[in-house]
Structure 1
Amino acid sequence: MLLAQLLDRAGTGVWAAACVLYFTFVIGLDAGQVGLLLGASGVAGIAGSPLAGHLADRFPVRSLLIGAHLLRLGTLCLMLVVTDFALLLLVVAVTHLGDRGAKTLEMLFATRVAGDRRATYQALSRSSANAGYALGAGLAAIGLAVGTRGAYQVLILADALSFLVVAALVWRTKEPRGRGLVVPPAGPAEATGPAGPAEATGPAAAARGPWRDRGYLRFVLLDIPMHLDDSILGIGIPLWLVGRTEAPHELIPAFLVVNTVLVVLLQLQVSARVETARQAAGAVALYGVATFACCALLAGAGAGGVWGASAALLAAAVLATAAELVRSVSSWELAVRLAPKEARASYLGVAGMAQSVQKSAGPLLLTGVVMAAGPAGWLALGTAVAGLSLVQRRSSLRRLDRLERLERTPPVPAASG
């Protein structure tokens, strides 16, 4: 699975680096059309996670994951021949739908295979994913340097080929028996426990589904700002450097290098310290602290001159990466542990929406609100994320308490005739 993920992310890295230029110089779209294309794909991606989770409750996860990879293979091949904007809009949207669905199914499948070693797998997963993105970006750089229509088409075919190979690797990976996401109900006592009717956590919650479980939806809603490190690192810091500081533009690639190296070196060590659900809940508060410190450095970077701004921006990139290291293990662990065992797949599909929503709304929040407000905008963002992280921590611990009480409650004997 880790090799499959590395190849998947390498292909995705190729496409991410080349897609905007391909749409602009090969297809001939203007900036507005490219923006609409990418925006529509982001909206489609939001639906990918819950759809994948819903299907995973009814069909084998491995088969669905293979299908998602083959769907992306087909749509990418269509991009080689589709030039009409309306059709291209549909193809790109379906591609991103399959992409987000595949990532959710990938984590569901890994949850089954890894079992209680989820944190370790997540660490290895993050390391292999970052290595894959770096490899893909390097391959894309070669094609972009050539710059011909044929070179762009080769990059698309390389991405499509990666999905074909990944589908074959998943097909060769066996799903363990008896360790699925759906387990039999523990007993009728869980349906009416201390959680109360508004936030049932046993079979009652599973029967109602994630969309009617207010406690879990609260977790997913609060998890959206816990993914803002992605937009801060990829969009906020580079644009702030260009628009509000005296730091050299050549510093921008260093942010990606810092992020990749630190994730590869430290992810396993961070994961070793977050092995239980309660530790994951505590780590959410650390996410808020790291994000606030990152935003504070960005707020003051503009007043530091060339060297001061450069140092502040690099330190902010380190702190954004620290937040990512914590979030990558705490978010999924809580998503798994806070979901009823009887319907984890559908619940985790809804949890996957947090990242998709952030990818769509995060850039708009940073460019349209935070950076428009100047340094005060960064301070407000950091304060808000830190405060929400404490709310998320408290809410998660309360739900964990309810789950533990339900597990300790003995099942009610069935009534005799």
Structure 2
Amino acid sequence: MASPSLTSVVGVRPFLVGMFVDALGNGLYVPLTLLFIHEVTGLPMTTVGLGVTVAAVVGLAANPVAGTLIDRFDARRVLIATYVLRAAAFAVYPLVDGFVALLVVAALIAAGDRAYYPASGGHVSALAEGALRDRLYTLIATARNVAFGLGGLLSAGVVSLAGATGFAVVALMNAASFALAAACLLLSGRRAPAPTPRNPGGYRQVFADRPFLTLVAAEQAYTLIHLVLPVALPVYAVTVLGVPPALLGVLYAINTVLVAAGQLPVRRWQRHARRTHAMALSGLILMAACAAYAATALLPAGLPRVGGLLVATLVLTFGELMHTVPSWALAAATAPPALRGRYLAIYQQTWALAAVLAPAGFSALLDTAPLLLWLTLAALVGPAALALLRLARRLPPDAVAPPQA
């Protein structure tokens, strides 16, 4: 029997287009977030930094709220709301002229960003099941990485051509990207989801699910390592290894290109593997990446260290590729349909916590002794990989090993 195609699933094409446009808009401003806000609002950099930090903490509450709304109203509606919310916030960014206004706008964007992840995961779960769900996650990861890279290039072009005015243009372009993504979902003609029984357990049932909480704890270790490249590596590479700052852009570009190009081949390679086992293997690869980064400090300065950083980043990228799709699909398949929004909200909260903990935690470890950072990350992800192997018997069988199309 021929494998069903994703293109035969109602609503997939407009959803993917919306995802691509959304990521393109994010790529416009994320690499220059603080500078972008400073230039658009004219506020001092210290004020901008404080506002963004406070907004990020406020955004932590958006995940659990989104989970409740998803289970009550449908993931697609919540996803559209996150797009509309961020479109409105970016549209008024050029009008911000004080700390309170900055805090309100930045908090709305942070809330939309945090709520987006459980909403998009819930919508994917409603669109596809089993192996098709894994394929859809793979296509999303590929499309978003390509679009994010293109958005970064487009942002650089706009700013270089239009100067300070270019930042205001970027804000409006980003608002337009979110509005277009919302329109794609509104016009998707998506089939109505099968009704699911209301479950009065709510978050109490989620927190009573010990195998799932073990999965969340394991995922927390992985999310911290995913933040090595944007958070830890710039400090480690420049202040500890003494490499040129320009190399960081090259390493980031290599990672982005390989993640975009490698998702489909890695997905084909993993299609017969248990999701828990694929994630455990990625943990071993990420441990090897930590060892490679630590060993780079032992190499002579100059080209040997540059080569060591390149090798370590390639290993890290491979580990990320091995982890991403099985992680998303396993969490979605583990959750009972009536509480999928809440389950995915708790699972995605690991990224919100990592974003709060990583900057200060990584900096403290690097200041104390750089080797401690890599030992700590390896010590976290190693037990997480072992826990995933043990979870294979405790999670739903069709979540661990999905039926093949």
Q: CA deviation at 1:89?
A: 1.0
Q: CA deviation at 1:207?
A: 8.6
Residue of structure 2 in register with 1:151 after alignment: 166
Is 1:293 aligned to residue 288 of structure 2? yes
What is the letter of the counterpart of residue 137 of structure 2?
Answer: Q
Is 1:71 aligned to residue 59 of structure 2? no
Q: CA deviation at 1:131?
A: 0.8
Is the Cα contact below 8 Å between 1:13 and 1:134 reproduced in 2? yes
Is the Cα contact below 8 Å between 1:206 and 1:340 reproduced in 2? no
What is the letter of the counterpart of residue 72 of structure 2?
Answer: R
SS of match in other structure, 2:335 = coil
Which structure is larger by alpha-carbon Rg, 1 or 2? Answer: 1
Structure-2 separation of matches of 1:66 and 1:25 = 29
What is the letter of the counterpart of residue 11 of structure 1?
Answer: G
Structure-2 separation of matches of 1:41 and 1:389 = 33
Structure-2 separation of matches of 1:14 and 1:215 = 39
SS of match in other structure, 2:191 = coil
Q: CA deviation at 1:347?
A: 1.3
Residue of structure 1 in register with 2:403 after alignment: none
Q: CA deviation at 1:279?
A: 1.1
Structure 1 pair 152–295 and aligned structure 2 pair: CA distance change class (3 A):
same
Is 1:398 aligned to residue 390 of structure 2? no
SS of match in other structure, 1:209 = helix
Q: CA deviation at 1:163?
A: 0.7
Structure 1: tracts of 5 or more residues without a match: 186-202, 405-417
Q: Deviations over 1:57-98 (max 9, x none)?
A: 111332222222111111112211121102211210111101
Residue of structure 2 in register with 1:197 after alignment: none
Is 1:48 aligned to residue 62 of structure 2? yes
1:179-190 to structure 2, matched below 5 A, reads 180=194, 183=196
Structure 2: tracts of 5 or more residues without a match: 1-14, 401-405
Residue of structure 2 in register with 1:81 after alignment: 95
Is 1:365 aligned to residue 361 of structure 2? yes
Is the Cα contact below 8 Å between 2:79 and 2:119 reproduced in 1? yes
- Which of 303, 318, 322 lines up with 1:322 in the alignment? 318
Q: CA deviation at 1:5?
A: 0.8
Q: Deviations over 1:296-346 (max 9, x none)?
A: 111121231212111111111112211211221121122122222332222
Structure-1 separation of matches of 2:352 and 2:230 = 15
Q: Deviations over 1:238-273 (max 9, x none)?
A: 221101114333211111221122122221122234
Is the Cα contact below 8 Å between 2:236 and 2:370 reproduced in 1? no
Structure-2 separation of matches of 1:61 and 1:342 = 12
Q: Deviations over 1:108-136 (max 9, x none)?
A: 11221122211111111111001111111
Structure-1 separation of matches of 2:38 and 2:203 = 48
Structure-1 separation of matches of 2:398 and 2:249 = 46
Structure-1 separation of matches of 2:118 and 2:279 = 21
Structure-2 separation of matches of 1:392 and 1:21 = 40
Q: CA deviation at 1:208?
A: 4.2
Structure-1 separation of matches of 2:157 and 2:285 = 36
Structure-1 separation of matches of 2:143 and 2:250 = 20
Structure-1 separation of matches of 2:120 and 2:45 = 33
Is the Cα contact below 8 Å between 2:71 and 2:338 reproduced in 1? no
SS of match in other structure, 2:141 = helix
Is 1:125 aligned to residue 140 of structure 2? yes
The count of corresponding residues between Structure 1 and Structure 2 is 384
Structure-2 separation of matches of 1:400 and 1:22 = 45
Q: CA deviation at 1:403?
A: 8.9
Is 1:173 aligned to residue 169 of structure 2? no
Structure-2 separation of matches of 1:343 and 1:154 = 40
Normalised by the size of structure 1, how large is the TM-score? 0.85
Residue of structure 2 in register with 1:215 after alignment: 211
Residue of structure 2 in register with 1:12 after alignment: 26
Is 1:251 aligned to residue 250 of structure 2? no
Structure-1 separation of matches of 2:86 and 2:40 = 21
- RMSD between superposed Cα atoms in Å: 2.5
Residue of structure 1 in register with 2:6 after alignment: none
Structure 1 pair 89–393 and aligned structure 2 pair: CA distance change class (3 A):
farther
Is 1:137 aligned to residue 133 of structure 2? no
Q: CA deviation at 1:55?
A: 0.6
